[in-house]
Amino acid sequence: MITHEKVIQFLRRNPALSVSILEKESGLPTSTLAKALSGDRVLNQKHLNALYPILVKYGYNEAYNNKAKVISIINHKGGVGKTTTTINLGKALTQLGFRVLLIDMDSQGNLSQSLGIDNPQHQVVHALLKNEELPVVSISEGFDVAPSDLELAYADLELVQAVGGVNQLRNKINPLREVYDYILIDCPPALNIFTNSALVASNSCLITLQPEVSAMKGVNNLFERITQVRERINPELMVEGILLTMVDKRLKVHKDMIDYVYQTLNNFRIYKTEIRINVALKESQIAQVNIFDYDSASNGAVDYLNFAKEFCANN
Ligand code: ADP
Ligand code: MG
């Protein structure tokens, strides 16, 4: 049955749809949908009946999956923009109207610190080992994080040895899938039990890649690991796409490497939006805020918002 919540979620996931055209085609009074989207009104049954055939025309499906999509941000190389992408893609998605949870699966706790959370009392590792619920800390409206710190580093052996340890993150995420539109998992720079757990819990993974020769080395191992998880534990797991980060087009080596990426990884989606090298991104991490709150006019903010739009268009 079509409901107010399903309509709102459908509209949020399809930002390219014009609400005024939908209102006109379904004969709804002007701004009914705009008000519903901003939370100022609830669509009644008459509205929903009028909207139904129009939304179906634009791809609405009754069996529409209203659970969060879980995406791992992955690359076993460090310093390639995973954490920066998790934070700023996440924040950009909230600006497009989605509810977003970030999960810190790196014991360095960079994600948590970059969001202003130092030494979290409740953290992801307690959910994995002590069967507590995933701790959720609110950063801003519709933008939450499940934090970690160094304590996670000491948990790898215990998690490997626990019965079904690699499934525990997925189990803990499941009840939260009703609450969010996107759950982004920031992975560590290693193919360890934490990365495996993230891949097992995910619908898809997003690979960040810096166009440097060193960054391309070992990329095959990464794809091999994704294939293994898909074949052995999580047949749903897809590769969402490859995001080029810290790109400096003035460098010939970057231009050459991007050509090489397009030649060798052309069976994957490579996002047209590239994240340019931008000092404001580094500064924002030090200032412990996302790039939009740090400097909304910076190239970093522009690139991550454009990326979020491209990302949504493909979802
Ligand atoms: P990872 O999580 O893959 O280890 P990070 O996202 O932490 O990588 O990025 C590594 C470093 O590079 C951090 O200091 C971060 O602030 C900086 N950084 C990330 N993306 C950019 C960018 N596009 N331009 C400039 N600095 C960046
Ligand atoms: Mg990181």
Shared domain for 79 and 191, answered yes or no, is: yes
How far does the centroid of ligand 2 lie from the alpha carbon of residue 51, in Å? 43
Q: In what order do the strands lie in the sheet with 143-146?
A: 137-140, 143-146, 100-104, 182-186, 69-74, 204-209, 238-244
Same domain, 42 and 190: no
Q: Which domain holds residue 160?
A: 67-314
Q: What is the separation, in whole angstroms, between the first and last Cα of the chain?
A: 23
Mutate to test the pocket of ligand 1, among 91, 281, 302 (most ligand atoms within 8 A of CB): 281
- Following CA atoms 164, 236, 4, 172 in sequence, which dihedral angle do they give, to the nearest 10 degrees? 10
Among 57, 80, 98, the domain boundary falls at 57
Pocket test for ligand 1, best of 84, 107, 207 (most atoms within 8 A of CB): 84
pLDDT number for residue 14: 81
Consecutive H or E run containing 144: strand 143-146
Model pLDDT, residue 87 = 98
Q: What residues contact 88, with CB distance under 8 A and at least 6 apart?
A: 281, 290, 291, 292, 300, 301, 304
pLDDT tens-digit readout, 70-104: 999 999 999 999 999 999 999 999 998 889 999 99
Is 282 a pocket residue for ligand 1 (Cβ < 6 Å)?
A: yes
The per-residue pLDDT for 65 is 63
Q: Note the pLDDT of residue 216.
A: 83
151 belongs to a structural domain? yes
Q: Tell me, what CATH number does 200's domain have?
A: 3.40.50.300
- Asked if 184 contacts 100 with a C-beta cutoff of 8 angstroms, the reply is yes
As for how many domains the chain has, the answer is 2
Query: Do 284 and 245 share a domain, yes or no?
Result: yes
Residues 38 and 184 in one domain: no
Containing 146, the helix (H) or strand (E) segment is strand 143-146
Q: Please give the C-alpha separations between residue 254 and each of 115, 218, 244, 307, in angstroms, as whole numbers.
A: 30, 18, 10, 19
Do 81 and 221 lie in a common domain? Answer: yes
What's the sign of the alpha-carbon dihedral 280, 284, 192, 266?
Answer: negative
Q: Which residue in 186, 198, 201 sits closest to 110, CA to CA?
A: 186
CA dist 101 and 91 (Å) reads 10
CA gap 191, 315 in Å, rounded: 26
Note whether residue 297 is domain-resident.
yes
Domain final position from 57, 79, 98: 57
Please list the ranges in the chain whose pLDDT falls under 50. none
pTM of the model: 0.85
